[in-house]
Structure 1
Amino acid sequence: MPTPLAKLSSGGFSIGIELPLDNDWSPDGEASRLRDGRRHGVPSLARHAELAQLADRLGFRALWVRDVPLYDPSFGDAAQVFEVFAYLGYLAGITRDILLGTAAVVLPLREPLLTLKSAASIQALSGGRLLLGVASGDRPVEYPLFGRDFETRGANFRQQVALLRDGARGHLPPGIEVLPATHTLPLLVAGLAQQSPQWIGTHMDGCLAYPGTPDDHARRVASWRAVAGDKPYTSFIHLDLADDPQQPLQRHRFGARAGRLALIEELAAMRDAGVQHIGLHFRRNRRPLAETLAEIASEVLPHFHHVQKELTT
């Protein structure tokens, strides 16, 4: 059975989805949010389970969830609302094949042994589908509320990575262990996590890169390869898929509006720049999400996932 990292980059390039599965940043989504009385950045999760299962059936490679423990109106984004590990446990139970990734768990805010136990539990319950994205965090308001020191988060991050790497075996008294035991927690890093590039390249298994253009990624991939070799490089696009397949690509912050033909060109350019996985984010998408997912699955995925299909038939 392939490892989660091998499955992520099988065929050289793959496409996943960043949750929440809502388009609450679109005009219709904003109107719905106001009718429901939800604050900005708080998505409707009425169809999240149905759409996650649809993404699994349609062949998307991964579902990505973010770690946003507290809703801060100044940031205006509650991510997918649910606690990251509790939600992954639920998603593991309702999906079969799709990888489950975190983008990314803020290690210094969390109790290390419980983080390890949570991640190991998801890995076991999902049948080995977890991709553990990790970060040091960038919201200073959260640290005092959790009783953590913002200034020492870099050192805290290194200590927690060491614990995750050895399953806490070198951190506990004789006879004490964390169950379920695991030796397979792939760690992908968002940003530098207050570390040097060399440390990141040595100690991390993959990169979760900030959204950008193909040219942006070509430069970043070169920097990543210099310290990490061929370890996976992944990123995300905020996509608004137009009805017209011929619609040219129009860039906006973190992504673009485009018809499917321009989307295929953009994804191919990302692949050629060295990106190995792209997660699509749909909160700006104006069309119904089930319709959008179906079109991408039938018209876009075959351009990039055909190698994976051949390997599994």
Structure 2
Amino acid sequence: MTISKLTSGPLTVGLELPLDNDWTQEGQRQRMLDKRPFGVPNLSEHQSLARLADELGFRALWIRDVPLYDPSFGDAAQVFDPLVYLGFLSGVTRNILLGTAAVVLPLRSPWIVRKSAASVQALSHDRLMLGVASGDRPSEYPLFGADYENRGQAFRHSVEILTGKQDSRLSPGQAILPDTRTPPLLSAGLSQQSPEWIGQHMSGWLAYPGTPEEHVHRVNLWRNVAGDKPYVSFIHLDYLNDPKAPRKRHRFGLQTGRDGLVRELEEMQSAGVNHVGLHFRRNQAQVDESLRLVAQDVLGVFHETN
């Protein structure tokens, strides 16, 4: 099953898209030459980089949901709609898991999300992990005709539809096609719910980035309400081609080399984290070079081999 593949190993390592380093000094220079707004990555190599990630053995590709580009936030994520994009990526990859982190449910028709997710699930041969969220950007809600204050209630209603608990509303013979296995649902944060509700209704938790020490408390909270369900987080990585480079922390992550990253992941594992997605927008080296180095230096330490 998808979730067991996510967690097979002492800890597994994936990637958060876009696979671009547009938040570096060189990336910003190139962005201005290309006349792209801040936070809009260069996607010219996205297909080849996704294939490379799959070939190198990274466990998952994670896609964020940014329905509206807002310069006050300055981040367009990977630009493409997450479920449309994962449908595309399902056709150019073979083994890597495909995850949303996370679809903002109150801004979307849950019946359409269900159909889109089922489509990706079928096209990818059961590789989808459907991360979901209530959203945290108030400026989006009026445009989409949604109520920001009631987004928690809308989130719960959407989850009921995604999990089939509202199927009694369908008339005889009606169905949401394709009829395929429901993908595992993972919540980004608490989505305006109690920890107990998230632990009961979700298959996993997408936790915000933090240090290993910060994850200890969060993992303990998760284990108390969800048992051994997966706990996932992310690291903004600047990977150096110097195995002994020390760990230097920055917002949401760190700059380091092989030894420092292995140590960081070992500490995340000890804290109870099951999967880590690496984010390369602060990475100073070319992303393809760093992907190859991380695969060579790190993946074999953690991923079980068949």
Q: Given the two structures, how large is their TM-score scaled by the length of structure 1?
A: 0.96
After superposition, where does 1:89-168 map in structure 2 within 5 Å?
89-166=87-164, 168=166
Q: Structure 2 regions of 5+ residues with no counterpart? A: none
Which residue number in structure 2 is paired with residue 297 of structure 1?
295
Please say if residues 188 and 208 of structure 1, whose CA atoms lie closer than 8 Å, have aligned partners that are also in contact.
Answer: yes
Please say if residues 250 and 256 of structure 1, whose CA atoms lie closer than 8 Å, have aligned partners that are also in contact.
Answer: yes
Change in Cα spacing, 1:175 to 1:277, as seen in structure 2 (3 Å) is: same
How many residue pairs match? The answer is 306
Match of 1:177, SS state, is coil
Superimposed CA distance per residue, residues 133-184 of structure 1 (whole angstroms, 9 cap, x where no aligned partner):
0000001110110011111111111011011111752331222110011333
Which residue number in structure 2 is paired with residue 176 of structure 1?
174
Please say if residues 21 and 48 of structure 1, whose CA atoms lie closer than 8 Å, have aligned partners that are also in contact.
Answer: yes
Q: Does 2:85 align with 1:87?
A: yes
Please say if residues 102 and 134 of structure 1, whose CA atoms lie closer than 8 Å, have aligned partners that are also in contact.
Answer: yes
Please say if residues 121 and 181 of structure 2, whose CA atoms lie closer than 8 Å, have aligned partners that are also in contact.
Answer: no
Match of 1:116, SS state, is helix
Match of 2:15, SS state, is strand
The letter of the residue matching 2:152 is G
Please say if residues 15 and 278 of structure 2, whose CA atoms lie closer than 8 Å, have aligned partners that are also in contact.
Answer: yes
After superposition, where does 1:23-42 map in structure 2 within 5 Å?
23-42=21-40
Q: Distance in 1 between matches of 2:191 and 2:131?
A: 11
Q: Distance in 1 between matches of 2:228 and 2:52?
A: 31
Match of 1:148, SS state, is coil
Q: Give the 4+ runs in structure 1 shifted more than 6 A.
A: none
Aligned-pair CA distance for 1:39:
0.9
| RMSD (Å), alpha carbons | 0.9
Q: Does 2:41 align with 1:43?
A: yes
Match of 1:300, SS state, is helix
Match of 1:103, SS state, is strand
Superimposed CA distance per residue, residues 184-208 of structure 1 (whole angstroms, 9 cap, x where no aligned partner):
3200000111111111110000000
Aligned-pair CA distance for 1:45:
0.2
The letter of the residue matching 1:209 is A
Q: Distance in 1 between matches of 2:246 and 2:24?
A: 19
Q: Does 2:236 align with 1:238?
A: yes
**Which segment is superposed worse, 163-172 or 187-196?**
163-172
Superimposed CA distance per residue, residues 218-266 of structure 1 (whole angstroms, 9 cap, x where no aligned partner):
1100000000000000000000001211110000000000011100000
Q: Given the two structures, how large is their TM-score scaled by the length of structure 2?
A: 0.98
Please say if residues 165 and 185 of structure 1, whose CA atoms lie closer than 8 Å, have aligned partners that are also in contact.
Answer: no
Aligned-pair CA distance for 1:273:
0.5
**Percentage of identical aligned residues:** 61
Superimposed CA distance per residue, residues 276-302 of structure 1 (whole angstroms, 9 cap, x where no aligned partner):
000000000000111100011011001
Q: Distance in 1 between matches of 2:96 and 2:74?
A: 29
Which residue number in structure 2 is paired with residue 279 of structure 1?
277
Q: Structure 1 regions of 5+ residues with no counterpart? A: none
The letter of the residue matching 1:75 is F
Q: Distance in 1 between matches of 2:156 and 2:104?
A: 12
Q: Distance in 2 between matches of 1:250 and 1:88?
A: 33
The letter of the residue matching 1:230 is D
Superimposed CA distance per residue, residues 12-62 of structure 1 (whole angstroms, 9 cap, x where no aligned partner):
310000000100001111110011111110000010000000000000000
